[in-house]
Chain A
């Protein structure tokens, strides 16, 4: 049986990397006394699959992982048991038992939304909001994306599904599929580079709002609908 868990990450724990968050949950699941399933073989490990990795320094309200369990009581009980063993900065938001046909968390991810705020040390150009919107309103935004295999030219516009200025922050919904993932800081850096703005160190405070999969009708929906 598969269970999908949604959690948030905020405060000092934003400095814990993705691998360490995985280890954290492996231990948390044991502390919570959840009847998690293990793989066979000499070094059995919990059968778990995490959705899109979150960069160190980013916060989130939309993190997910799936785990295989041998038995369960109900969603509310599991949610409560997990929350009893969390540290400050990580809250379990939702637990959902998955239907048999549901793809695993990592493979399902198609998009992610972010709110980007700015460091108070970053003195923004006064017209940045308008400039940002005109940047986004171009029909094509050709960029060179660096990948593990080298670099290739892509149209950034195709990977940004939505972009808005919300108050002093930028909201964006971008492609987060494996291989086509766009990092929000890449969008930000591309914009500021084109406006000739010099960035201070650690200029952006990035918060992931939600992680999405594609529904059968092609629309983006959260990993737990």
Chain B
């Protein structure tokens, strides 16, 4: 029987003790004497969020296939347990062995969103690991970061020994081997870091220095060691079929956000929406073989007992074997009453037909993501969804029995005008009108329900909008009120509900997204002042953040509200994510000209990702070879 790190008394008084006990179905147990490397994999948020993340499941499976390593999980203790652990000085522990994280060889932290930065400090602090890389000694774990936020790791670089830039499937084996070698030779932590910095995709921030111009922009980045690369290039799984995929994912005892089998059908996206960071970072799009997916789906359902399977990708409709895969799933899942959930599908006759087969029409709602209210602005952001397509989709759906529609928009996109915002209300109204045209009175059961949601646009690194200024909080809120008024003035306004996100959080997210090394001190200060769980609006303390910036003498507007010059050196320019800065700049110019760029399957736009020689870049054989030159 495993012994728990926390006493019964503590577990009985915290909310959801099952978050901390491990021992779930498919959790991997090994004998610690029989492994050489202990790896703690962390998602710095609460268990229910962390357990829902596919990337960790893939890496957990991969590491545990290595015979010499044991990978365990750790998440942020919720605020109630956090207080107890601080009070009683209990070190943070891994779920499987319940051993303290500070005794591990590695602590890997996936960094999925900027608002978890203070939780990273929480995890280090509770683990009793020095917060700063430079203060860690030979007995502390190597702290390594991965995930989308590491494409600009600078705001948190002081807290990490290294970052892994790109997809985890490719280089961890090499890194672990190097670690074992260094240990066997008695080489210390510093030497390991120096050597690791030469592994492709590994960035060791302490081995670089940055100098600044008087205006605060970056002057130069200086490698401090010989033989370490000036540019760190993203790692990418060239073959997404013949690689790791978890056949036995861990099944949590308690309900988590993603309580289902997740089948990642492809990586990347052909669309090239200009606001979307994922669409650039994961290029080129790579499809998994349909037979592999069928096989994985059946194995995972069998091994977990989940009642639902969800397809995962940035744009599922673009997966070329989707009809075949769905036919297979419908045939094989129906028998066992497994639900199929289909996010990110384009609404058309095909998808409606599929949804009809797999879902209860009465309960489900349709989702469109026009992102902008006018065609002009949709051209600016290169969102290839026209009003005609939306209204046609809605017409088909209403005729098929749906009566609930969700619409997602962004406010504060570059070049946005009042007319563009008015377009949001107009579009919602037109959809409502389509309902009343399409569905005869006697068939209606109440009003059509349209829910429009707006988020505030946050410019991200490695997107064509990385040069753009972000709106201030006041500008954002004005836009939200204007949107609300626009919707309120519509004929069908009673059928339309409007939600908007919080502005404070979006502004801070924007600061971190494009921040530099000078933000490390601000994040530390905010954490020391009590900021944690910033992604949870009930725990987000904007006043403390503003005061932290103030006390550190850092102006947040410098990072968010400023349009950047085309020749400015960005904090993330030393990373190469596969697409070139020239391509992004071309796209920034085209955005301002309201010109659209065709998707990767229609035409190669020479973004740079073809150098990986995989996925969509080689689908057409010679056709895209031009891009390779």
CA–CA, A205 to B7, complex, Å?
13
Residues on the A chain within 8 Å of B255, using CB: 20, 23
- A11–B2 CB distance below 8 A: yes
CA A43 – CA B305 in complex, angstroms? Answer: 17
| Contact digits for B1-38, partner A, Cβ 8 Å, 1 yes 0 no | 11010001101110001100111110000000000000
How far is A16 from B255 in the complex, measured between Cα atoms in Å? 11
Question: Which chain A residue has the least Cβ–Cβ distance from B3?
Answer: A12
- Determine whether B589 belongs to the interface, using a CB cutoff of 8 Å to chain A: no
Please tell me if B302 contacts chain A, counting CB pairs below 8 Å.
yes
Judging by beta carbons under 8 Å apart, are B253 and A202 in contact?
Answer: no
Min CB distance B16 to A, Å, is 9
- Contact of A142 with B by CB under 8 A: no
Q: List the A side residues contacting B8 at CB < 8 Å.
A: 57, 119, 202, 205
Contact A202 B1 (CB under 8 A): no
**Who on chain A is nearest to B17 by CB?**
A15
Quick one: CB contact mask for A23-64 with B, threshold 8 Å, 1 for yes? 110111111010000100011100000000000110000000
Complex CA gap A26/B307 in Å reads 9
The answer to whether residues A88 and B1 also contact, given A27-B25, A27-B304 and a CB cut-off of 8 A, is yes
Q: In the complex where A27-B25, A27-B306, A30-B336 touch, is A15 in contact with B13 (Cβ < 8 A)? A: no
The answer to whether B302 touches A31, judged by C-beta atoms less than 8 angstroms apart, is yes
| Chain B hits for A13, CB < 8 A | 21, 23, 253
Contact A16 B337 (CB under 8 A): no
| Pairwise interchain contact B23-A89, C-beta atoms closer than 8 A | yes
The answer, yes or no, to whether A201 is at the interface (CB within 8 Å) is yes
Q: Does B363 contact A (CB under 8 A)?
A: yes
Query: Which interface residue of A28, A85, A87 has the most chain B CB atoms within 10 A?
Result: A87
Q: Which of B229-274 contact A (CB under 8 A)?
A: 251, 253-255
- Interface check B170, CB cutoff 8 A: no
User: In chain A, what residue has the closest Cβ to B98?
Assistant: A12
A202: B residues at CB distance < 8 A:
8-9, 12-13
Q: Which residues 317-354 of B have a CB within 8 angstroms of A?
A: 336-337
Task: Report the contact-size class of chain A (Cβ under 8 Å from the partner).
Answer: 20 to 34
The reply to whether A31 and B303 form a contact with Cβ atoms under 8 Å apart is yes
Is there an interface contact between B18 and A201, defined as CB atoms closer than 8 Å? no
Considering the chains assembled together, what is the distance between the CA atoms of A37 and B17 in angstroms?
32
**Docked CA distance A202–B2 (Å):** 21
Q: Is B620 an interface residue (CB 8 A)?
A: no
Q: Which of A12, A20, A33, A38 has the most CB of B within 10 A?
A: A12
Q: Which residue of B22, B305, B363 contacts A29 across the interface (Cβ within 8 Å)?
A: B305
Chain A residue with Cβ nearest B7: A202
Asked if A26 and B305 make an inter-chain contact with CB atoms under 8 angstroms apart, the answer reads yes
**Whole-angstrom distance between the Cβ of B395 and the nearest chain A Cβ:** 25
User: Once bound together, how far apart are the Cα atoms of A33 and B307, in whole Å?
Assistant: 13
Q: Which residue of A lies closest to B29 (CB)?
A: A88
The answer on a CB contact under 8 Å between B25 and A56 is no
Least distance between B263 CB and chain A CB atoms (Å): 17
In the bound complex, residues from chain A placing their C-beta under 8 Å from that of B191 are none
B360 within 8 Å of A by Cβ? Answer: yes
Q: Given contacts A20-B254, A43-B360, are A30 and B307 in contact (CB under 8 A)?
A: yes
Give chain B residues whose Cβ lies under 8 Å from the Cβ of A20: 18, 253-255
> Which residues from B are CB-within-8-Å of A85?
25, 305
The chain A residue with its CB closest to the CB of B8 is A202
Q: How far is the CA of A115 from the CA of B284 in the complex (A)?
A: 62
With A15-B21, A30-B307: A42-B362 Cβ-Cβ less than 8 Å: yes
Given A27-B306, A31-B302, CB of A87 within 8 Å of CB of B12: no
Residues of B within 8 A of A24 (CB): 25, 253
Does B12 lie within 8 Å of A57, measured CB to CB? yes
Minimal beta-carbon separation of B260 from chain A (angstroms): 11
Assess the A201–B13 pair: CB atoms within 8 A. yes
- Cross-chain contact of A11 among B1, B9, B11, B17 (Cβ < 8 A): B1
In the bound complex, how far is the Cα of B301 from the Cα of A30, in angstroms? 9
Do B302 and A12 have beta carbons less than 8 Å apart?
no
CB distance from B20 to the nearest CB of A (A): 8
B362 touches A38 (CB 8 A): no
1/0 contact trace for A145-167 toward B, CB 8 Å?
Answer: 00000000000000000000000
Report the Cα distance A27→B301, complex, angstroms. 10
A56–B18 alpha-carbon span in the complex (Å): 10
- Cα A77 to Cα B305 in complex, Å, equals 19
Which residue of chain B has the shortest Cβ distance to A44 in the bound complex?
B337
Contacts of A30 in B (CB 8 A): 301, 305-307, 336
Chain A residues near B9 (CB-CB < 8 A): 119, 121, 201-202
Q: What residues of chain A lie closer than 8 Å to B2, measured between beta carbons?
A: 11-12, 88
In whole angstroms, how far apart are the Cα atoms of A28 and B24 in the complex?
12
A28 B305 Cβ-Cβ under 8 A: yes
Residues 184-211 of A contacting B (Cβ, < 8 Å): 201-202, 205
**Are the C-beta atoms of A88 and B302 separated by less than 8 Å?**
no
Which residue on chain B has the smallest CB distance to residue A13? B23
Cα A201 to Cα B12 in complex, Å, equals 9
List the interface of chain B (C-beta within 8 A of A).
1-2, 4, 8-9, 11-13, 17-18, 21-25, 251, 253-255, 301-307, 336-337, 360, 362-363
The 8 closest A-B pairs by CB, nearest first: A27-B305, A30-B305, A15-B17, A31-B305, A12-B21, A42-B360, A202-B12, A11-B1
Q: What are 8 pairs between A and B in contact, CB < 8 Å? A: A15-B11, A15-B18, A17-B254, A27-B304, A31-B304, A56-B12, A57-B11, A201-B13
- Contacts beyond the supplied A20-B18, A23-B253: 7 A-B pairs with Cβ under 8 Å: A12-B2, A16-B253, A24-B253, A27-B307, A31-B303, A31-B305, A205-B8
